[in-house]
Amino acid sequence: MSESAVPASNASGNASEKMASLVREAENLKGKLEEERQKLNDVNLANIAERLEQIAYVNIKPRKVLKGHQAKVLCTDWSPDKRHIISSSQDGRLIIWDAFTTNKEHAVTMPTTWIMACAYAPSGNFVACGGLDNKVTVYPITSDEEMAAKKRTVGTHTSYMSCCIYPNSDQQILTGSGDSTCALWDVESGQLLQSFHGHSGDVMAIDLAPNETGNTFVSGSCDRMAFIWDMRSGHVVQSFEGHQSDVNSVKFHPCGDAIATGSDDSSCRLYDMRADREVAVFAKESIIFGVNSVDFSVSGRLLFAGYNDYTVNLWDTLKSERVCLLYGHENKVSCVQVSPDGTALSTGSWDYTIRVWA
Amino acid sequence: MAANLQQQRSINSQLRREVGIERMPVSEACSLMMKYMLEHEEEDCLLSGFTQKVNPFREKSSCSIL
């Protein structure tokens, strides 16, 4: 053994000891966390809601079918005007629809396929989108020619971009990526304002807290976790586990104090942030297909979930019971979203169509 | 190794923060959530239907008075 090797091996010995002690500490902390959460776990949501009447009947009908994409619809977003919908597809196109008339108002072809995310700016004058190109690109909504000419790349991840959202204004975009991070970008300069490290798998979905000053968001990941983040510090504030497979979708309850998740394990779950734990599970033995997308009605009483078995399930959030199913799509339902005023539900599918239910 | 240590340190500090947060009994948190839902039931068209306003996505009736 050469002399120089001795300190090196000592150093690495110290490092592994340190590592081992950190891992032990982490295990202890996890145990402590579970213990603390369990202390206040006196009932679940369905128990609290037991005395409530069941939802007898929901009058939601298929109203519009938006046809025009030539491949799977991957993402949709309602315009703040409650009338237009933007959709992005595997075919590399973005389409802006008038959901009242079903007319296509704009169509833009991007130099990529699999546009996995699209989002309206709060003003309704811009859209952000991206996917397999790893980038988030912003288009102004003007004429088709001008849209293509005036596009701007705002940020780039090291893997696909799976989701994007405008947190406060047209000036910032929050993205989630297959590189397992989220990132906050300045639209004007393209500067990375904050990056969010913590997930150990692809980030599949993000959502903003509705009732705060726009500083809290939630992310769902293939590491089966949902994280609540503080946008200013870049830290995870709370973490929720329970799913047995990828978390494909996350959505804040309108009250702002809970989140719903949808997973490949064919369940949806509700986590309360004040109680810091899971309070409801939405699953049935007969449901064996994964959930791609979830959203709430404006009161939060209905939870809509889009599944790989081509259906949309409506769950009673309070009683954890299924209210009904929406049939119509002929392939996987990839995205569901309630319109901003709560009058309609849009659903996008691998059957190339978007449907509007109301 | 250094990178792993750094990563583990940040995981531990996250867990420490999480252990320290204040919690509410589940019964209380759920009651508050239920209250919110019941208070907003009427403005929820997908749940309660269109009592106040007209459904903008419904086809106009084909009959009309001229």
Residue B37 in any domain: the answer is: yes
Spatial contact of B34 and A253, defined as CB atoms under 8 Å apart: no
DSSP state, residue A353: -
Residue A195 in any domain: the answer is: yes
Most B CBs within 10 Å, among A84, A225, A255, A312, to test the B interface? A255
Residue B34 in any domain: the answer is: yes
> pTM for the whole thing?
0.94
CB of A275 within 8 Å of a chain B CB? The answer is yes
The number of domains in chain A is 1
B contacts of A279 (beta carbons < 8 Å) = 26, 29-30, 33
The verdict on a CB contact (< 8 Å) between A343 and B56 is yes
The verdict on a CB contact (< 8 Å) between A29 and B27 is no
CATH number for the domain harbouring residue A243: 2.130.10.10
Compute the count of residue pairs across chains A and B with CB atoms less than 8 Å apart.
Answer: 177
- Number of residues that make up chain B: 66
Residue A320 in any domain: the answer is: yes
The pLDDT, as a whole number, for residue A2 is 45
Spatial contact of A177 and A183, defined as CB atoms under 8 Å apart: yes
The pLDDT, as a whole number, for residue B2 is 82
The pLDDT, as a whole number, for residue A1 is 41
pLDDT at A183 over 70: yes
The pLDDT, as a whole number, for residue B54 is 81
Degrees, nearest 5: CA angle A141-A143-A149: 85
Residue A275 in any domain: the answer is: yes
Q: What is the DSSP string of A146-211?
A: HHHHT-EEEEE-SS-EEEEE--SSTTEEEEEETTS-EEEEETTT--EEEEE---SS-EEEEEE-SS
Residue B48 in any domain: the answer is: no
The pLDDT, as a whole number, for residue B66 is 57
User: Per-residue confidence at A296, pLDDT binned at 50, 70, 90?
Assistant: very high
Residue B49 in any domain: the answer is: no
Least confident of A55-59, A113-117, A172-176: A55-59
Q: How far apart are alpha carbons A268 and A278 in whole angstroms?
A: 11
Residue B50 in any domain: the answer is: no
pLDDT at A75 over 80: yes
B contacts of A272 (beta carbons < 8 Å) = 26, 29-30, 33
pLDDT at A39 over 70: yes
Residue A276 buriedness (CB in 10 A; 0-12 / 13-18 / 19+): buried
Residue A16 in any domain: the answer is: no
CB of A233 within 8 Å of a chain B CB? The answer is no
B contacts of A37 (beta carbons < 8 Å) = 23
CB of A65 within 8 Å of a chain B CB? The answer is no
User: Could you identify the residue written with the tokens 């959502």?
Assistant: A207
The more confident residue out of A212 and A252 is: A252
The pLDDT, as a whole number, for residue A148 is 87
Handedness of CA A324, A281, B45, A210 (dihedral sign): negative
Question: A137-163, pLDDT tens digit by residue?
Answer: 999 999 888 898 999 999 999 999 999
Residue A47 in any domain: the answer is: no
Q: How far apart are alpha carbons A30 and A229 in whole angstroms?
A: 19
- Using alpha carbons, select from A333, A338, A349 the residue that is nearest to residue A69: A349
Most B CBs within 10 Å, among A14, A54, A273, A301, to test the B interface? A301
Question: A318-335, pLDDT tens digit by residue?
Answer: 999 999 999 999 999 999
Spatial contact of A344 and A63, defined as CB atoms under 8 Å apart: yes
**Which residues span the domain enclosing B38?**
2-42
* Per-range mean pLDDT, top range of A41-45, A168-172, A300-304: A300-304
User: What is the overall mean pLDDT for chain A?
Assistant: 95
Spatial contact of A185 and A194, defined as CB atoms under 8 Å apart: no
- Using alpha carbons, select from B16, B27, B15 the residue that is nearest to residue A40: B27
Letter string b/e over residues A161-187, b meaning 16 or more CB atoms within 10 A of that residue's CB: bbbbbbbeebebbbbbbbbbbbbbbeb
Q: Which residues pair with A226 in a beta bridge?
A: A220, A240
Residue B55 in any domain: the answer is: no
The pLDDT, as a whole number, for residue A5 is 46
What radius of gyration do chain A's Cα atoms show?
A: 22
Residue B54 in any domain: the answer is: no
Beta pairing, strands A93-98 & A103-109: antiparallel
Residue A43 in any domain: the answer is: no
- Using alpha carbons, select from A302, A51, A324 the residue that is nearest to residue B43: A302
CB of A157 within 8 Å of a chain B CB? The answer is no
Letter string b/e over residues A281-302, b meaning 16 or more CB atoms within 10 A of that residue's CB: ebbeeebeebbbbbbbbbbbbb
User: Per-residue confidence at A271, pLDDT binned at 50, 70, 90?
Assistant: very high
Residue A126 in any domain: the answer is: yes
Residue A23 in any domain: the answer is: no
**Which residues span the domain enclosing A152?**
59-357
Mark out the alpha helices in chain A (DSSP H runs): 5-39, 45-48, 144-149
Spatial contact of A158 and A134, defined as CB atoms under 8 Å apart: yes
Q: Which of the residues in chain B have pLDDT under 70?
A: 52, 60-66
A contacts of B31 (beta carbons < 8 Å) = 48
Question: A22-34, pLDDT tens digit by residue?
Answer: 999 999 999 999 9
The pLDDT, as a whole number, for residue A4 is 46
The verdict on a CB contact (< 8 Å) between A275 and B11 is no
Least confident of A7-16, A57-66, A110-119: A7-16
The pLDDT, as a whole number, for residue B61 is 60
B contacts of A255 (beta carbons < 8 Å) = 32-33, 36-37
Handedness of CA A143, A71, A327, A325 (dihedral sign): negative
The number of domains in chain B is 1
